[in-house]
Amino acid sequence: MIHSGSGEGSTPGTERTPRVAAARKLLRRAGRDRSGRFLVEGAQAVREALAAGPVHEVFVTAEAAERHPELVDAARTGGARVLFVTERAAAGLSGTVTPQGLVAVCDLIDVPVAEALAGAPGFVTVCAGISDPGNVGTVIRVADAAGCDAVLLAGDTVDPHNGKAVRASTGSVFHLPLARDRDAAGVLATCRAAGLTTLVADGRGELDLHDPATTPLLAGPVAWVLGSEAHGAGPELLAAADHRVRVPIHGRAESLNLATAAAICLYATVGARAGVAPAPNRPTGVAGA
């Protein structure tokens, strides 16, 4: 049977326990930036965090520990401090209506843009000014699934360490390099310097995503630029990008939501690369094909 103490005694920690109170500050970006750490909630995300390491602390309720004893064991084996807490304390560390009772404290995982683009990347996603954390997390998840080499978060894009973004990524934040830079135009310039053709998804773009003439472009090294939900990438990035690519709408829908458009664009790139020989010094598979 799993011990249900707090790690400092037999009584589960409460929202007033110092370690819980300190962790709660990580729900805000200022607290994350100040401490260099963030919260990861839920079994799948915590599992990925433990695999990526390091994890500093794990807060868990007795019920969650009974559901996921393997994660408690893995946390202890990996050197994380496991603190059993009350349901109310766990809820205070959660940004959801139905807390899962399992929260990990990890180091921030973003890297400089130059580091994310090291090693001749061939397939990159750029989030430019995306304000909804759920959309950012979903785009990271799609980019991971499509085999992207990195996700760059440019301009005023929401922090990828935001709890909702982490949950929406279902652990994908730990699978590929993430980089943040407020200079969105500079990010595109860095992509171009790394040999990537920059493509902005835009409903009025001069290129049709499904035009066969676009396929050779998609088969090469590309950075897809996805703009904000309401305003797109904005005039500066539309002008700075190499091409603007539209997803054709054949019915009467006014537009596609961001996550859907991202999936269509990234998987069109995957499809264009099917059967294309790998570039020199690139691994085989979706990302390098």
Listed residues 40, 74, 108: the one ending a domain? 108
Q: Report the pLDDT value the prediction gives residue 228, as an integer from 0 to 100.
A: 84
Alpha helices in 147-257 (DSSP H): 163-169, 184-193, 215-219, 235-240
**Is 284 a member of any domain?**
no
In a shared domain, residues 23 and 75: yes
- In the chain the beta strands, taken as DSSP E runs, fall at 37-41, 55-60, 81-84, 102-107, 110-111, 123-128, 150-154, 178-181, 197-201, 207-208, 222-226, 243-246
* pLDDT mean over 252-270: 93
Listed residues 108, 137, 159: the one ending a domain? 108
Can you count the helices (H) and strands (E) in the chain?
13, 12
| CATH at 241 | 3.40.1280.10
Coil, strand or helix at 50: helix
**Is 2 a member of any domain?**
no
Q: What pLDDT, in 10s, does the model give residues 24-73?
A: 999 999 999 999 999 999 999 999 999 998 999 999 999 999 999 999 99
Following CA atoms 48, 126, 277, 218 in sequence, which dihedral angle do they give, to the nearest 10 degrees? 140
- Structure confidence at residue 285 as a pLDDT band (50, 70, 90): very low
In a shared domain, residues 157 and 263: yes
* pLDDT mean over 117-143: 96
Q: Report the pLDDT value the prediction gives residue 269, as an integer from 0 to 100.
A: 97
Range of the domain at 83: 18-108
**Could you give the percent of the chain with pLDDT greater than 90?**
81
In a shared domain, residues 82 and 146: no
**Alpha-carbon gap, residue 142 to 264, rounded angstroms:** 10
Is it the case that residue 1 has pLDDT exceeding 70? Answer: no
Q: Report the pLDDT value the prediction gives residue 10, as an integer from 0 to 100.
A: 63
Least confidently predicted of 38-42, 78-82, 117-121, 278-282: 278-282
Is it the case that residue 193 has pLDDT exceeding 60? Answer: yes
- Residue type at position 89: A
Residue carrying the six token digits 């019920």:
63
In a shared domain, residues 237 and 156: yes
- Structure confidence at residue 272 as a pLDDT band (50, 70, 90): very high
In a shared domain, residues 94 and 194: no
**Is 1 a member of any domain?**
no
**Is 74 a member of any domain?**
yes
- Residue type at position 175: H
Following CA atoms 216, 219, 221, 227 in sequence, which dihedral angle do they give, to the nearest 10 degrees? 90
In a shared domain, residues 160 and 258: yes
Is it the case that residue 3 has pLDDT exceeding 80? Answer: no
- Residues in the chain, total: 289
**Is 288 a member of any domain?**
no
Q: What pLDDT, in 10s, does the model give residues 209-246?
A: 999 999 999 999 999 999 987 778 888 899 999 999 99
Mean pLDDT score of the chain: 90
Q: How far apart are the first and last CA of the chain?
A: 49
| Greater model confidence, 254 or 281 | 254
Is it the case that residue 280 has pLDDT exceeding 60? Answer: no
In a shared domain, residues 259 and 119: yes
Q: Report the pLDDT value the prediction gives residue 232, as an integer from 0 to 100.
A: 80
In a shared domain, residues 139 and 62: no
In a shared domain, residues 71 and 144: no
* pLDDT mean over 66-93: 96
In a shared domain, residues 126 and 262: yes
| CATH at 62 | 3.30.1330.30
CB-based contact 218:243 (threshold 8 Å): no
Closest to 150 in 3D by CA, of 201, 191, 197, 185? 191
**Alpha-carbon gap, residue 79 to 54, rounded angstroms:** 8
* pLDDT mean over 131-157: 96
**Is 38 a member of any domain?**
yes
**Predicted model pTM:** 0.89
In a shared domain, residues 115 and 200: yes
Beta strand 243-246 with 207-208: parallel, antiparallel or unpaired? parallel
In a shared domain, residues 121 and 48: no
- Structure confidence at residue 274 as a pLDDT band (50, 70, 90): confident
**Is 261 a member of any domain?**
yes
CB-based contact 81:6 (threshold 8 Å): no
CB-based contact 90:61 (threshold 8 Å): yes
**Alpha-carbon gap, residue 244 to 200, rounded angstroms:** 5
Listed residues 108, 125, 155: the one ending a domain? 108
Domain count, the chain: 2
Write the secondary structure of 188-207 as one string of H (helix), E (strand) and C (coil): HHHHHHCCCEEEEECCCCCE
Is it the case that residue 6 has pLDDT exceeding 50? Answer: no
